[in-house]
Amino acid sequence: MTSRNEPQPDADLPARVSTLELFFDLVFVFTITQLTSMLAEHVTPAAAGRVLLIFGLLWWMYSAYVWLTNTRTPSRVPERLLLLLGMVGFLIIGLSIPHAFGGDGERGRDGLAFGLGYLLVVAVHSGLYLRVNRNIWRILPFNLGSALLLVIAGLTPSPAAYGLWGAALALQVFASLFVRLAGRFEIQPEHFVERHGSLLIVAFGESVADVGIGAGGQRVTVSLALSAALGLALTASLWWAFFGTADDDRAARSLARADRAERPRLVLAAYFYAYIPMLLGIVAIAAGLKTAIGHPGATLTAGPAVALAGGVTLFLIGDVLFRWVLRTGIPWYRAAAAAAALAAWPVATAVDAAAGIALLTAIVAAALVIEQATVKA
């Protein structure tokens, strides 16, 4: 007899990512673009800290929805409507991000909206997941606790509100580290890999859109066109690092070979933790490019230069961790490129923006060329 708490077999196990899931990802990436705008406006340690807090909270719940749709395709009308309601929650969160935090002694103008939007996201996710796997009860208290802390933070002036935000994130980190997942959640490798690959593609596309936003209202000069083209080349080099070397295909094979009870741990390590620096890297690069394209021919200040170089470093570090966890390739050349990109940021403050972007692109491209030559040899 099967325990009522064990995952149940279902005819709706996902084979491919549905169009509704892609629609969901577009709404989620809107929140990522809001983080890019926040960082581009003020490239400071304080802004970076706020971005990290918000991203950590959003990434946890986005991943929770991926695990949900990996369990069963949202094919029934009630499920689709509820998933759309969850998207409304993410949309409210995205709209509230720019003013979610207040100054000293003030509460964020939209902090309460953020908390309520997050509570809606958690409530919809919990209701949907309970229909397919009651093991979500093991994580639900952490999610609900985080949401309630954010609602309270929205009513609390700074700096106390920051403590509540930090506590909300800490609850989720605690859940990911101490809640046993093996044997309680079923992973469909092909769907999981395709879903996260699609997310990266959308995130890359939004970073290119930020290039266009940075150039908005300016005359298209040779300097502007060159900077924009190089910005696209930098984004394309990172796309090539992940997709051009078939890391996603190798990842699918690696997960398929793994023991079914081991897959949740591998997925958490590769598609949750390793993706964090990759996505934060895209946010930082987009923020740096937005500033660089907005001032073509000028020399970047320290903040945007660090955002660009640090973003490339973060993405490559995430890629290295991803490869190491799933054993999908030799990560050492990319690790060297990550270190070289970080070391290049002082150079980016001494040359014009186009030259700095070109240097970072060359570092990534060189690592990929050497890696491929080594593999063929």
pLDDT digits (tens, 9 = 90+) for 312-333: 999 999 999 999 999 887 778 9
Note whether residue 10 is domain-resident: no
The reply to whether 279 and 196 lie within a common domain is: yes
For residue 240, pLDDT beyond 90? yes
Domain count, the chain: 2
Give the per-residue pLDDT at 186. 78
In a domain, 5, yes or no: no
Judge whether residue 345 has pLDDT over 90. Answer: no
For residue 182, pLDDT beyond 70: no
Instruction: pLDDT band for 15, please (50, 70, 90 cuts).
Output: low
Does residue 366 sit within a domain? yes
* pLDDT tens per residue, range 263-310: 888 999 999 999 999 999 999 999 988 888 877 677 888 888 999 999
* Percent of the chain residues past pLDDT 90, beyond the cut: 51
The overall average pLDDT reported for the chain is 87
Whole-angstrom Cα distance, residue 253 to residue 266?
13
Residues 286 and 165 in one domain: no
Note whether residue 55 is domain-resident: yes
What's the average model confidence in pLDDT over 79-85?
94
Q: What is the pLDDT of residue 180?
A: 66
* pLDDT recorded at residue 269: 92
Q: Say yes or no: 174 and 290 in one domain.
A: no
CB 312 within 8 A of CB 341: yes
**Biggest CA pair distance of the chain:** 72
Q: Is residue 13 part of a domain?
A: no
- Assign 221 a pLDDT band (cuts: 50, 70, 90): confident
Same-domain status, 117 and 225: no
In contact, 369 and 336? CB cutoff 8 Å: no
pLDDT given at position 9: 42
Domain that holds residue 347: 189-211+221-376
Per-residue pLDDT for 224 more than 50? Answer: yes
Q: For residue 100, give the nearest of 90, 115, 80 by alpha carbon.
A: 115
> ∠ CA 164-139-127 to the nearest 5 degrees?
100
120 is a domain residue:
yes
* Position 217 pLDDT exceeds 80: no
pTM: 0.90
